Structure 1
């Protein structure tokens, strides 16, 4: 697993930097409107256990510590930091990259000892799903952070990718297939180093919503 991204690090206490590796378990719900257009990706990021432990412990420290207020502040900072990186998300419709809107609906929660960051990422314009293929990737460009869909025994869970609404669509999460040379370069990165911009794309899973 790879280290927590600097984009997220700037929003959390400095003690979290002590751990050199981190990852996110991802689930995505593709949201639609009444006309069958895709409107947004509702994402849930479940942070790795160590990262979650450190952050939640620090947010709970102090005589007047308020965990809920701390989580609200943390969510705001994470949202602001990710905005400059397009929320680590690329969306395409029939191969054409789609513009994204601004995230205004977001929250951070603590569940079963894990930190969850949940947000609704709108498309700039609703896009028709009928006879179309919508794909997305969620990744840290420098691969300082690993993002993988929720899975059990190396099998992606059905709830890792869902579609809101009744449509004739097939949902699938395609695994990454990086070149062996890229894998070697990534494994040789020191715990304090980032990969070159764009490296993370090669390790990103691809969510696919193919509709008739």
Structure 2
């Protein structure tokens, strides 16, 4: 397990992405579903599917383990610890007020989907947020842009079945200018952009939730 701890970046062994010569080096395809209880937003169910190169080390350690075997639980705990260390790689806003999360997910797990590793977890909000007449926005990203975290399509973000009538979701995908894109492409594995640049945020998709 030590190898995984040393190599996991954003909950995965991104250092195995030896084929990449520029940022990003690892890719995660996301699905998110909002969780509603009694007309209040309480959590986000997340599913992160890692690219095959990124998944290789985790799946190697899992071997032929079946779903539910102890090795999956151990790997999931290590991966989740890295995600928690970065505050779920997620920012959630209500107007200009940042919404806080609980320190621990209410559920999480790691599994195999072909040659890809899949992390699932429930990200709980520290306090339920009212939906009626409100608007929220959230983004999930690696600040260094070492890992590209993205929704392949807008339909990969969904409302709960019991969401108040009229609530809508939209996904905005930014279009960074040529200079910023060229800078990201110029970064090698050993390079890291300045912290105050927050490079990953400039490439991050933003999800907006509005309810009448």
| TM-score, structure 1 as length reference | 0.83
The aligned residue for residue 137 of structure 1 is: 139
Alignment of 1:40-189 (within 5 A): 40-60=43-63, 66=65, 68-102=69-103, 103-149=105-151, 151=152, 156-158=153-155, 160-164=156-160, 165-167=162-164, 168-189=166-187
Structure 1 residue 179, shift from structure 2 partner: 3.5
The aligned residue for residue 35 of structure 2 is: 31
Residue pair 2:17, 2:26 contacting (<8 A) in 1 also: no
Structure 1 residue 209, shift from structure 2 partner: 1.1
Structure 2: runs of 5+ lacking an equivalent: 1-5
| TM-score, structure 2 as length reference | 0.83
Structure 1: runs of 5+ lacking an equivalent: 1-5
Aligned length: 196
- Give the superposed CA RMSD: 2.3
Residue pair 1:28, 1:162 contacting (<8 A) in 2 also: yes
The separation in 2 between residues aligned to 1:86 and 1:15, in whole angstroms, is 21
* SS of residue matched to 1:125: strand
The separation in 2 between residues aligned to 1:138 and 1:186, in whole angstroms, is 18
The answer as to 2:204 corresponding to 1:207 is no
The aligned residue for residue 3 of structure 2 is: none
Cα–Cα, structure 1 residues 59 and 192, in superposed 2: closer, same or farther, change >3 Å? farther
The separation in 1 between residues aligned to 2:181 and 2:14, in whole angstroms, is 29
